[in-house]
Amino acid sequence: MPSPRGLPSDYLLHFNRTVGRHGVCSSYMGLPPDKASVGDSSTVNFKAHCEAIIAAAEKRPTVSDDLETLRLQCQHYEGLHSNEALQSSQVFYNQHPLVDSAFIVYDMRNSTCRKFNGDFGCSWLNEIHCFSDRDQISFPHVLASSGLRLSPHMQVSGQEYRDRIYINEKQRPMLHIAKRGCHWYYRSFSRCIASSNTHIDEEMIKDNETTPTTTTTSTQLRVAVIVAGTLNRFIFDSALKNLIKPMKKRASVDYYVSLSTARMKAYRSDSGYTDRLQPDPTLPSSSVEDFVDIEEYIRTKIASLASSVGAVYLQESIDIDSEPMLIARRERALEENPDEDPDSRFPIIDNRNAAISQRTANANRNLLRLHLAVQSLWKTATNWEKEEGFKYDYVMFLRDDSLWLKEFDIRNLIAKGGDIFIPACDARDPPLQPSEINDHILVSRRDTADVFGNYYSELSKKDVKGCMKLLPDDLTKGGKRGCNSEMLLKWIVDERNITVTKLGQSKIPFQRSANVKLPDGSNVPCFHKFCQSRKHPLTFTNESNAIKICKQIDWKKVFEIK
């Protein structure tokens, strides 16, 4: 089973993912922004680390280090590097290269690295001998005095959240400090280290495939939560409180999320509010272009609930344009209908008029991005299963805009039969068609999870006209309208003979929702898509009862649109 702290299950792979990947002689773990590391400081810096260590030592009278010596050591280094004109000072003060020395990787395979690691280690040991065995205090001084400097391509905004590579005077990479968000405090050390370059990892796994993988057993359930969508619609806090926290009482939970940061054109962009959506107000505002600070925030919050992150992928957009199956399908579409948008007929068809056709093409692109993102996350999840020797029991596939209104109890699923579990949504307005099943959330037992984890490929292999042929004429409008996403899901589920269990909304107590930014900067939540059930309906608290259905709000009045 994976280590509770997410430590590597395969040390050769970890070696390849650190010193091997970066071409360095040694690799360290960055010091995390944790109370144990820097006390109440909002930043990870040398002074705060010194104060945290001294404060901890004062509470432990048996500590071997003399407190006065520790204070003098910290003052000595600060005074020694106070001249900011020196290059070493810039390394020391501006970069704060603080590490946790509990896990170090050395490459001793060549003479250059053997000499560097030996010299660096001797300098470090000299500081320990002169002052104290608090090696994390002396590390920044040793690095600042080593002649190494931060690689120029890494001197970018948000440096404190990133991996760092230090080079010598010949521009050769020598030392790596892993980004602090990967620290084992956050329970996904090995996975986080590996996640920055998936295709390289696959090659590394192939090179190391002779290592036996043993599947271990555990009495505790293992659940993967897979979320995909956009940062702008992402709702996180309610999942922490009402999904992951209660589920952790009965299961080991791994969280996988993929979010696009660019704004995508909404299916109904004329609805009055979809162009004013904003992320979960509890998320911090990002200070860097690639949102790496948001990644760290997600990792720390998941870890605070004694759960693990399987992957956090934040990218500007999901690239569907270079996906081979879609390229081939688009080429065929243009041959058959050269005057149409090639995405207007897959996977959803609705060509009742030109405006609807274009709107459908936008919706299709968003849907394909969603499923391709899910497939990428699922590939990562199954890789962890293989590498760490386990299998998930349940896999939850969620949308980015899931607002959890009450605590989820996984026992409501365990007690029932069926392969997959979905909301009944049989009290919806308008009602579901007989050819539809709700696709707002899907929970699958592991045996059938591959179908939905690889749903992008599953759809891409299909001729969706086969689904369309099953619909009555009043729905197809003379062949101009095909299956929507909920019909496509039912079609594939039926073809695969997958048993569906429909649950009352109180058993999966969430609604797809939106956070809308008002003119004064405040936020108003609303239910973007609303589901209710006849049996076991969701009852609302005073707080959730105040949330309205988005389409029932007069947005023109809210935004004073004339």
Q: Which pLDDT tens digit goes with each residue over 313-335?
A: 999 999 999 999 999 999 999 99
Does 198 or 282 have the greater pLDDT score? 282
- pLDDT(305) > 80: yes
Beta-carbon count within 10 A of 355 CB = 9
Share of the chain above pLDDT 90, in %: 79
Question: For the chain, first and last CA: distance in Å?
Answer: 61
Per residue in 11-32, pLDDT (tens digit) is 999 999 999 999 999 999 999 9
Which band of pLDDT confidence, cut at 50, 70 and 90, is reported for residue 95? Answer: low
**What pLDDT score was predicted for residue 197?**
46
Give the chain's mean pLDDT. Answer: 91
Q: Quote the CA–CA distance of 137 and 119 in Å, as a whole number.
A: 18
User: Which residues are registered as beta bridge partners of 97?
Assistant: none
Q: Tell me, what's the pLDDT at 156?
A: 87
pLDDT at 209: 45
- What does the angle CA 403 – CA 409 – CA 415 come to, to the nearest 5 degrees? 135
* 81 — pLDDT class (breaks 50, 70, 90): confident
What is the average pLDDT across 346-374? 96
pLDDT average, residue stretch 292-297: 96
Peptide bond connecting 347 to the previous residue in cis, omega within 30 degrees of 0: yes
pLDDT at 208: 46
Residue 77 has pLDDT above 70, yes or no: yes
* Radius of gyration in angstroms for the set of CA atoms belonging to the chain, rounded to a whole number: 27
Mark out the alpha helices in 135-179 (DSSP H runs).
135-144
Which strands form 441-445's sheet, in the order they lie side by side?
308-315, 251-260, 221-230, 394-399, 441-445, 420-423, 500-503
Share of the chain above pLDDT 70, in %: 91
For residue 138, what pLDDT band results from cuts at 50, 70 and 90?
Answer: very high
Q: Is residue 80 very low, low, confident or very high in pLDDT (cuts 50, 70, 90)?
A: confident
Measure the CA–CA gap between 113 and 133, rounded to whole angstroms. 24
| 361-389 pLDDT per residue, tens | 999 999 999 999 999 999 999 999 999 99
8 A C-beta contact, residue 107 and residue 19: yes
What span, in angstroms and rounded, lies between the C-alpha atoms of 268 and 431? 20
Model confidence at 61: pLDDT above 80 = no
SS (H, E, C) 199-266: HHHHHHHHHCCCCCCCCCCCCCEEEEEEEEEEHHHCCCHHHHHHHHHHHCCCEEEEEEEEEECCCCCC
Quick: pLDDT tens for 139-189. Answer: 999 999 999 999 998 888 888 999 999 999 999 999 999 999 999 999 999
Is residue 272 classed as helix, strand or coil in its secondary structure? coil
Strand-pair category, 420-423 with 510-517: unpaired
The 3 state secondary structure assigned to 277-295 is ECCCCCCCCCCCCCCHHHH
- pLDDT tens-digit readout, 254-274: 999 999 999 876 656 667 899
Give the pLDDT confidence of 390-442 residue by residue, as tens digits: 999 999 999 999 999 999 999 999 989 999 999 999 999 889 999 999 999 99
Give the distance, in angstroms, between the CA of residue 451 and the centroid of all CA atoms in the same chain. Answer: 21
246 pLDDT higher than 60: yes
| Residue 487 in this model has a pLDDT that exceeds 50 | yes
| Interval 200-245: pLDDT, tens | 455 444 544 434 343 445 568 999 999 999 999 999 999 999 999 9
Query: What integer pLDDT is reported at residue 220 of this predicted model?
Result: 87
